[in-house]
Amino acid sequence: MEFKAFENKVWLSSPTMHGEEMEYVKEAYDTNWMSTVGKNINEVEKITCEKIGCKYAVALSAGTAALHLAVKAAGVRPGDKVFCSDMTFDATVNPVVYEGGIPVFIDSEYETWNMDPKALERAFEIYPEVKVVVIVHLYGTPCQMNEIKEICDRHNAIIIEDAAEALGATYKGKSCGQFGNYNAISFNGNKIITGSSGGMFLTDDEEMANKVRKWSTQSRENAPWYQHEELGYNYRMSNVIAGVVRGQYKYLDEHIAQKKAIYERYKEGLKDLPLQMNPVDEENTRPNYWLSCILINEEAMCKQVRSEQEYLYVSEKGKSCPHEILDTLFKYNAEGRPIWKPMHMQPIYRNNAFITREGDGRAKTNAYIKGGTLGKDGRPLDVGMDIFQRGLCLPSDNKMTPEQQDMIIEMIRSCFE
């Protein structure tokens, strides 16, 4: 079936501006606070604390900078193993390595696509010395926080929460970004609200908030000259960027409502196809629905193989695969994306340990081979690679019209014909 290409590209998730951002940017300009000091910064820190319910927020140049200083705050030393979510963006994990730590990857679960508490428990059996756990709420869907926190508390481990994709999401009524000891959010251009870039370190620990603020401004001591006792970083947020974030914050709830409507329209429009949407636990959580994703049923997958940088598939009647759908969307000027490739399969982290809910990890779970090894429950043991193989992110832009989305749904449908 042929479709008419979209005149303007339908993006995965692009910035949605409202005009008020410019007023705060202009205020920074007019008052000459064109620096990493100023009212916009103070205001966005205040607003963030109020929205999320944390005591302290330090505005930084990026979510990655916030994660880096969180890893430093957690006291990770060279050679320390750190448990990390496996299916995530590499910015969750790289900061561990900046400090010389060694990520140990914990497999995902089908229930949330986030860190599997059962695999985390096993990881502590294998590495009881580990003291830091980095978790992510992927695509704006909260992890099973109670289970993870209980396990970490029992092992006296510090939690670093990467809430970069989950600003505004809640778990049992509490906001993401306040569950860990040290937490990070992001205002990167594709996030639920944006500053064009930027991020924030969040904590309830006053002493650490002050330390992070100091580290982020080159660790200057309180002296008349440049005096330094510790290693410093130039990580502070610009007052111009903070102006954009300040204007965007008012629209956070509106953006979430739009993203939720997109998710629900996909769910309804695709319900008779052999696939599922990314999971939502409506009883316990309110995701921010940042990206809508689908997971194609195993029996409806046509043949698809991936090398390190290329892919091939064979179209088949009644079946499809992520790359057939992505190619179709691309052909008509819409942007989808594969699921974030699990860290344990990334060339840079391939030799790091990877812990699954049973068995002894990667040796038995090469999911490049169709299906991979199955667990006792009959499901693939390497959950992250299974989701990567069968899943994809759909165009989830706030500005996509219902008509455009209906077209996208028809395009996806055509792939299964």
Question: Which residues of this chain interact with ligand PLP, rule CB under 6 A?
Answer: 62-64, 88-89, 91-92, 136, 162, 164-165, 186, 188, 199
Q: Which of 285, 342, 261, 296 is nearest to 141 (CA)?
A: 285
Pick the closer one to ligand PLP by CB: 61 or 320: 61
Neighbours of 107 (CB within 10 A): 30
Active-site entry in 72, 81, 191, 211: 191
Would you say 372 or 391 has its CB closer to ligand PLP? 391
Total Cβ atoms within 10 A of residue 140: 30
Structure tokens, 347: 């060339």
Per-residue CA distances from 108 to 85, 136, 296, 301, 360 (Å) = 7, 11, 17, 21, 15
Q: In whole angstroms, how close is the CB of 177 to ligand PLP at the nearest point?
A: 12
All residues at 6 or more sequence positions from 157 whose CB lies less than 8 Å from its CB, including other chains: 83, 124, 130, 131, 132, 133
Which of 313, 320, 302 minimizes the C-alpha distance to 412? Answer: 320
User: At closest approach, how far in Å is the CB of 233 from ligand PLP?
Assistant: 14
Q: Which residue is nearest to ligand PLP (CB)?
A: 63
Nearby residues of 24 by Cβ (< 8 Å), 6 or more positions away: 40, 242, 243, 244, 246, 247
Cα 59 to chain centroid distance, Å, stands at: 19
Rounded Cα distance, 234 and 36, in Å: 10
Minimum distance from residue 68 beta carbon to ligand PLP (Å): 9
Based on the residue annotation, tell me whether 376 is a catalytic residue of this protein.
no
Of 91 and 294, which CB lies nearer to ligand PLP in the complex structure?
91
Closest CB to ligand PLP among residues 136, 412: 136
CA distance 231 to 237: 19
Nearer to ligand PLP, 62 or 145 (CB): 62
Q: Which is nearer to ligand PLP, 91 or 275 (CB)?
A: 91
Cβ atoms of 243 and 25 closer than 8 Å: yes
Output the smallest distance, CB 62 to ligand PLP, in A. 3
Q: Nearest distance from residue 187's CB to ligand PLP, in Å?
A: 6
Task: Give 186 or 320: the residue with its C-beta nearer to ligand PLP.
Answer: 186
In angstroms, the first-to-last Cα distance of the chain is 9
State the nearest-atom distance from the C-beta of 63 to ligand PLP, in Å: 3
Distance in Å, CB of 328 to ligand PLP, minimum: 25
Sign of CA dihedral 260, 263, 267, 270: positive
- Cα–Cα distances in Å, from 325 out to 302, 342, 393, 405, 412? 11, 20, 10, 14, 6
What is the distance between the alpha carbons of residues 144 and 85, in angstroms, rounded to a whole number?
Answer: 13
Sheet holding 132-136, edge to edge: 56-60, 199-203, 182-186, 158-162, 132-136, 81-85, 102-106, 354-355
* Residues with active-site annotation: 191
